[in-house]
Amino acid sequence: MQFSIAVVGGDGIGPEVISWAVRVLEVIGKKKGHTFNFIPLKAGGCAIDETGEPLPAETLEKAKACEALLLGAVGGPKWETLPGYLRPERALLGLRAGLGVFANLRPAALLPQLKNACPLKDEVLTASNPHGSATFDLLIVRELTGGIYFGERGRKQNGDNESAFDTEYYSRNEIERVLRIGYTAAAQRRKKLCVVDKANVLESSRLWRETAAAIAKEYPNIETSYLYVDNCAMQLIRSPGQFDVIVTSNLFGDILSDEASVLAGSIGMLASASIGSPDDALAKNGRPFGIYEPIHGSAPDIANQDIANPLAAILSAAMMLRYSLGMEQEACLIEKAVTSVLDKGLRTKDIASRESNIHNEKIVGTKVMGEAVLTELK
Ligand code: IPM
Ligand code: MG
């Protein structure tokens, strides 16, 4: 079968890491008889430089015709002084809203191979871990097209005292649909779902809790719990093993997923899927359209130096195969290839052990790491 995949390399290390994800998909395609047609598109800082706008209309239109969008990262110091509506980050928000990808799945697990890159002590990792093992495996489901990221914002001038505001705004439907994605994921995992909010203060969070309490009744096999976001931030570093699926708002999910990434060894390992509904206008073959991107940013300081970790981008391609193309087996092959290269001791700098190099690790660059994954797959 033929599939069209939109590709936005973007800025900084984005194009480098995405080029490895593309190569991995090509190898998988060849092996399994799928043809992926990659459609390169511009968004972010490089689009500003070329067209004057972060998200050219053509990018959005062409992406809509594809099965999925593979995205590197956008942004960098070069564009930081531009006004808000012209910043590269606008491209991300425009893509998320324009492509209707309301649920952002951010898995964070500590692979046994990367235990030495995790800053937590074993006794912290085992605390509240139902299996008593020094590890964790959680999934943050972040609402992605609502909340304070998209609510009304502005500035006011009161005499010489300027003020600014952003609004957290959620509808019951927005909360419900992302919760359902969370419950579906939890059903295939350890059957626990934690709703994270700030319901002791925010009215929008109280609506999250009410909505969750109603939906929870439809999923009696899933254990639903509730945490305030400040407590959750603490629990994540006190005992990450207690969590299975966390469902939360756009802003809280942004913050908590960065926190969780450190626990997993490095943000350079974490992939993400942002998906819409399997029956919206962009869904193809009954599968949701999705944006697949590593959660790390553009890291302009290490761009084009053969340092960046390509594994998060490669693992994002695996998520794309799983969620938007229904290729579970192919997704697993990629994930297995990644764990195999780690088993062999290959490490980019960001996932090297924190202690001295006593673990038989070999520090390699982007290219050697990428090639090693390809070799595993061939
Ligand atoms: C992320 C990023 C983005 C966000 C930025 C770059 C706009 O931090 O994907 O987590 O805040 O959503
Ligand atoms: Mg973020």
Confidence (pLDDT) at 359: 63
Amino acid at 251: L
- Ligand 1 geometric centre to CA of 358 (Å): 35
- Ligand 2 geometric centre to CA of 256 (Å): 9
pLDDT tens by residue, the chain, 378 residues: 899 999 999 999 999 999 999 999 999 999 999 999 999 999 999 999 999 999 999 999 999 999 999 999 999 999 999 998 899 999 999 999 999 999 999 999 999 999 888 999 988 898 878 777 889 999 999 999 999 999 999 999 999 999 999 999 999 999 999 999 999 999 999 999 999 999 999 999 999 999 999 999 999 999 999 999 999 999 999 999 999 999 999 999 999 999 999 999 999 999 999 999 999 999 999 999 999 999 999 999 999 999 999 999 999 999 999 999 999 999 999 999 999 999 999 999 999 887 755 568 999 999 999 999 999 999
Ligand 1, atom 8: nearest CA belongs to which residue? Answer: 254
Pairwise CA distance, residues 334 & 28, whole Å: 8
The single residue of 197, 244, 254, 350 carrying the catalytic annotation is 254
Confidence (pLDDT) at 358: 58
Q: Are 105 and 247 in contact (CB under 8 A)?
A: no
**Which three-class secondary structure state does DSSP give residue 255?**
helix
119-263 CATH, one of 3.40.190.10, 3.40.718.10, 3.65.10.10, 3.40.50.800: 3.40.718.10
Confidence (pLDDT) at 128: 76
1-106+269-378 CATH, one of 3.40.50.300, 3.40.50.720, 3.10.20.30, 3.40.718.10: 3.40.718.10
Ligand 1, atom 11: nearest CA belongs to which residue? Answer: 254
Same fold, 1-106+269-378 and 119-263: yes
The single residue of 170, 198, 244, 292 carrying the catalytic annotation is 198
Confidence (pLDDT) at 120: 93
* Nearest ligand to the CA atom of 297: 1
Q: Are 164 and 178 in contact (CB under 8 A)?
A: no
Pairwise CA distance, residues 271 & 273, whole Å: 7
The single residue of 62, 258, 344, 349 carrying the catalytic annotation is 258
Would you state the structure tokens that stand for residue 339, as one six-digit string? 């764990």
| 92 touches ligand 1 (CB under 6 Å) | yes
pTM of the model: 0.96
Q: Which residues contact 221 (CB under 8 A, 6 or more apart)?
A: 187, 191
Burial class for 55, CB neighbours closer than 10 Å (0-12, 13-18, 19+): buried
Element (H, E) at 3: strand 2-10
DSSP state of 287: B
Q: Which residues contact 34 (CB under 8 A, 6 or more apart)?
A: 1, 2, 3, 28, 325, 327, 330
Domain ranges of the chain: 1-106+269-378, 119-263
> Which one of 89, 249, 257, 270 would you pick to mutate in the ligand 1 pocket, going by the greatest count of ligand atoms within 8 A of its CB?
89
Give yes or no: 137 in active site: no
The single residue of 11, 42, 137, 149 carrying the catalytic annotation is 149
The β-bridge relationship of strands 103-109 and 271-275 is antiparallel
**Which three-class secondary structure state does DSSP give residue 139?**
strand
C-alpha pair distances (Å), 16 with each of 87, 91, 200, 366, 374:
21, 19, 44, 8, 15
Element (H, E) at 155: strand 153-158
Give yes or no: 191 in active site: no
Amino acid at 344: K
| 299 touches ligand 1 (CB under 6 Å) | no
Pairwise CA distance, residues 127 & 364, whole Å: 34
CA gyration radius, the chain: 20
Ligand 1, atom 7: nearest CA belongs to which residue? Answer: 89
Give yes or no: 11 in active site: no
Element (H, E) at 10: strand 2-10
Amino acid at 36: F
Identify which of 83, 74, 81 has the alpha carbon closest to the alpha carbon of residue 42: 74
